[in-house]
């Protein structure tokens, strides 16, 4: 057999899979992009190295109903563990604002069920392959530890500190750690955010996740070198009502850098945490991930990638930038600066306060 015939036999036996688009990452951003491609009947695949959709848990899953409705994010009962009915902001310098709402102002997803819903129900069963680690990309060829694939376009949705994105500095990323603890029934459904000296750039959160459990977590710039669990335990030892048996914990990172300027490069589109689509004031990234994924997917369907860049420039980036700059001001002098805003808020009409603190 000549070399030529050998090559023909080899490539016929193992033809390279070809797609209109390959999405790297099956988190909120990648799944949202997949939904747009699925709806348009495109030939795409979502690749992720994880074993199961929704695991490991990467998020508390808190979202305002304002953003869920605005972006068409799912609000189905089967994926929501609890509503958020009230919100409260507190500092360790003794400042406090508590707001009550007539209707739930937010919701908490069961994160695993939420991602599974996006992957298998929202637009039908998406085409995803798990346990597939993308090792590198050369133009239209995507190399994985399970072989090579080819695509006209690649959507990068591989999350914070990914090998395909920039390495963020300590002042551009929050470490985040959360525990679900069994605590005596306390069905206030109040989201409480504490701004403390131990959590520069971030805060401590605490709210009822069910009638017998609470999610308690911390996020902050990792400048002190103190482990998040230690920060959390120090806090709960001062707030004994939060002491309880730990059922689950999770840790990850949240980008808090300014939103990037360019979201498309050649045949590549970048979405979600990769482009810092995180609302810096709350460190919430689900809306930004869903929104950027959706618009990037729609741009691919339209056959015009600039649709995504234009929407990013005109709406998404200015929204993120506003929160980025506000966050810098809020945290300039730690809890003191936040305390000052809270004092000012006392003089605001209730409707303004409710909108300002509940619509994030
Ligand atoms: C502790 C914590 C609590 C949070 N709480 C909230 C909250 O309450 N509300 C909110 O709005 N936001 C919250 N966030 C932020 C929010 O979770 C993220 O902004 C959002 O999940 C980002 O989605 P993404 O799709 O961009 O990235 P990810 O969800 O991180 O998805 C990236 C995916 O890419 C895959 N991947 C990476 N590299 C590769 C590779 N080489 N090959 C194959 N697959 C790869 C990963 O396995 C992963 O599944 C929280 C974050 C943390 C860490």
- Each residue of 229-279: pLDDT tens digit? 999 999 999 888 888 999 999 999 999 999 999 999 999 999 999 999 999
* Total domain count, the chain: 1
Q: Between these two residues, 351 and 137, which has the higher pLDDT value?
A: 137
Q: Is 47 in the pocket of ligand 1 (CB under 6 A)?
A: yes
Q: Which of 27, 64, 251 most suits a substitution to test ligand 1, by most atoms within 8 Å of the C-beta? A: 27
Residue range 172-200: mean pLDDT, rounded: 89
The encoded tokens of residue 212 equal 């017998």
Range scoring the smallest mean pLDDT among 31-35, 72-76, 334-338: 334-338
- Cα(176) to centroid of ligand 1, in Å? 12
Where does 171-312 have alpha helices with state H?
A: 228-238, 286-302, 306-311
Q: Mutation test of ligand 1: which of 24, 59, 63 has the most ligand atoms closer than 8 Å to its C-beta?
A: 59
108 neighbors 209 (Cβ within 8 angstroms): yes
Which residues 6+ apart lie within 8 Å of 328 measured at CB?
A: 280
The CA 194 to ligand 1 mean position distance, Å, reads 23
State yes or no: pLDDT of 3 exceeds 80. no
The first and second tokens of residue 116, run together, are 């599974």
Is the shortest distance between the CB of 198 and ligand 1 below 6 Å?
no
- The reported pLDDT for the residue numbered 357 is 65
**Predicted confidence band at 28 (pLDDT cuts at 50, 70, 90)?**
very high
Give the tokens for residue 133: 């680690």
Tell me if 320 is assigned to some domain.
yes
* Domain assignment of residue 8, yes or no: no
The response to whether residue 137 sits with its C-beta less than 6 Å from ligand 1 reads no
What mean pLDDT do residues 2-10 have? 44
- For ligand 1, say whether the CB of 49 is within 6 Å of any of its atoms: yes
pTM for this one?
0.93
Ligand 1 mean position to 57 CA, how many Å? Answer: 9
320 and 259 Cβ atoms separated by less than 8 Å: yes
Q: How far apart are CA 299 and CA 9, in angstroms?
A: 38
56-87 pLDDT tens trace? 999 999 999 999 999 999 999 999 998 998 88
Output the domain CATH number for residue 123: 3.50.50.60
183 near 49, Cβ under 8 Å?
no
Lowest pLDDT segment from 33-47, 197-211, 263-277: 197-211
- Classify strands 147-156 and 141-144 as parallel, antiparallel or unpaired: antiparallel
Domain containing 297 equals: 17-358
Report whether 146 contacts 13 (CB < 8 A).
no
Q: Identify the residue whose C-alpha is closest to ligand 1 atom 33.
A: 25
Ligand 1 pocket mutation, candidates 28, 118, 158, criterion most atoms within 8 A of CB = 158
Choosing from 149, 159, 255 the residue with most ligand 1 atoms within 8 A of its CB, the one to mutate for a pocket test is 159
Task: Give 25 Cα–ligand 1 centroid separation in angstroms.
Answer: 9
Positive or negative: CA dihedral 86, 198, 343, 356: negative
> What is the pLDDT, as a whole number, of residue 340?
79
Residue 29 pLDDT > 70, yes or no? yes
Q: Average per-residue pLDDT in the chain?
A: 90
């Amino acid at each position: 057999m000549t070399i030529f015939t050998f090559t023909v036999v080899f490539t016929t036996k193992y033809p390279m899979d070809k797609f209109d688009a390959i999405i790297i990452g099956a988190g909120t951003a990648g799944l949202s992009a997949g939904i747009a491609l699925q709806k348009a009947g495109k030939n795409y695949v979502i690749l992720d190295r994880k074993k199961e959709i929704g695991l490991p848990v990467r998020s508390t899953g808190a979202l305002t109903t304002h953003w869920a409705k605005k972006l068409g994010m799912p609000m189905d009962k089967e994926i929501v563990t609890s509503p958020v009915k009230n919100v409260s902001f507190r500092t360790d310098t003794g400042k406090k604002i508590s707001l009550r709402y007539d209707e739930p102002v937010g919701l908490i997803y069961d994160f695993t069920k939420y991602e599974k819903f996006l992957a298998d129900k929202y637009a039908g069963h998406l085409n995803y392959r798990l346990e597939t680690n993308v090792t590198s990309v050369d133009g239209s060829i995507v190399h994985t530890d399970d072989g090579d694939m080819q695509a006209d376009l690649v959507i990068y949705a591989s999350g914070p500190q990914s090998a395909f994105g920039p390495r963020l500095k300590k002042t551009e990323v929050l470490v985040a750690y959360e525990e679900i603890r069994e605590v005596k029934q306390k069905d206030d459904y109040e989201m409480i955010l504490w701004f403390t000296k131990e959590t520069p750039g971030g805060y401590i959160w605490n709210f009822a996740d069910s009638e017998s459990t609470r999610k308690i977590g911390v996020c902050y710039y990792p400048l002190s070198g103190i482990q998040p669990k230690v920060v959390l335990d120090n806090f709960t030892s001062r707030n004994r009502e939060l002491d309880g048996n730990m059922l689950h914990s999770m840790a990850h990172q949240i980008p808090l850098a300014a939103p990037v300027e360019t979201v498309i490069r050649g045949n590549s589109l970048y979405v979600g945490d990769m482009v810092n689509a995180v609302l810096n004031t709350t460190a919430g990234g689900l809306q930004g991930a869903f929104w950027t994924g959706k618009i990037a997917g729609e741009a691919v369907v339209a056959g015009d990638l600039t649709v995504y860049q234009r929407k990013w420039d005109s709406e998404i980036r200015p929204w993120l930038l506003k929160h980025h700059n506000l966050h810098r001001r809020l945290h300039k002098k730690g809890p003191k600066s936040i305390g000052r805003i809270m004092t000012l808020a006392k003089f605001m009409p209730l409707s303004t306060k409710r909108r300002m603190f509940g619509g994030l």
